[in-house]
A and B are shown apart, each in its own frame.
Chain A
């Protein structure tokens, strides 16, 4: 059974960088599939942030691209998100998920999500 678990600080100050890690169990991220970050803000719904393929190829939401970095650590079976210059608008529950890419374009496994609040 594939499981994903997000981790990282729950509080980030404005203008600083948000950093989250997703630990995957039950599947090796270097074996295939794509790995994504998605967030849900109050009143704004869900928003896809970024996706990484195990080869290192990355894809970004155009509206966030300039502030986002996504990376993977296959030795730890983890992938990570960094979002720079955060504002209150970045307050959200951040989910990591496995994405099928061109084989159906859907997210088949998700993490429960972690709440990140941007506040001084």
Chain B
């Protein structure tokens, strides 16, 4: 049972947008602006794509954007491309702990 809840799957056609939610509590997502998102292609190392809710590391396309409202954070992938097909998971600082989401498989149709 993951601490943060994500939908198991999401999909979109090339060029479309897809938004993934990440729901926690006031003790994690809602309590801190320290939500991060990771892209994981199976067999490869997970890659940081969003940190501190909205910030993108150098080299990450601006097609990836993050936001937060209350206890729910969201990742939007705009202009979907074939290489965006991957697993995405969120995470949040939670005081003396650190929690992750259950992961969402994004399929590019």
User: For A113, what are the chain B residues with a Cβ–Cβ distance below 8 Å?
Assistant: 45
B binding-site residues for A, Cβ under 8 Å: 1-2, 32, 34, 36, 38, 43-48, 51-52, 57, 89, 91, 93, 96-103
Question: Given contacts A105-B93, A106-B91, is CB(A47)–CB(B48) below 8 Å?
Answer: no
For residue A46, CB closer than 8 A to chain B, the reply is yes
| B90 (CB) vs chain A CBs: closest residue | A46
Question: Given contacts A45-B2, A45-B103, is CB(A111)–CB(B96) below 8 Å?
Answer: no
A48, B48: Cβ atoms closer than 8 Å: no
| A45 (CB) vs chain B CBs: closest residue | B2
A105, B98: Cβ atoms closer than 8 Å: yes
Map CB proximity to B onto A1-18 as digits: 1 under 8 Å, 0 otherwise.
000100000000000000
A48, B34: Cβ atoms closer than 8 Å: no
Which residue of A48, A104, A105 contacts B100 across the interface (Cβ within 8 Å)? A48
For residue A35, CB closer than 8 A to chain B, the reply is no
> What is the CA–CA distance of A95 and B44 in the complex, to the nearest angstrom?
11
> What is the CA–CA distance of A106 and B100 in the complex, to the nearest angstrom?
11
A69-115 interface with B by 8 A CB criterion: 95, 97, 104-113
User: For A109, what are the chain B residues with a Cβ–Cβ distance below 8 Å?
Assistant: 45, 48
User: For A107, what are the chain B residues with a Cβ–Cβ distance below 8 Å?
Assistant: 36, 38, 46, 48, 91
> What is the CA–CA distance of A106 and B53 in the complex, to the nearest angstrom?
11
User: For B100, what are the chain A residues with a Cβ–Cβ distance below 8 Å?
Assistant: 38, 45-48
A45-B1, A106-B91 known, 10 other contacts, Cβ within 8 Å: A38-B100, A48-B100, A61-B97, A62-B97, A95-B45, A104-B52, A105-B36, A105-B52, A110-B38, A112-B45
Question: Given contacts A107-B36, A112-B43, is CB(A46)–CB(B91) below 8 Å?
Answer: yes
CB distance from A83 to the nearest CB of B (A): 17
User: For B51, what are the chain A residues with a Cβ–Cβ distance below 8 Å?
Assistant: 104, 106, 108
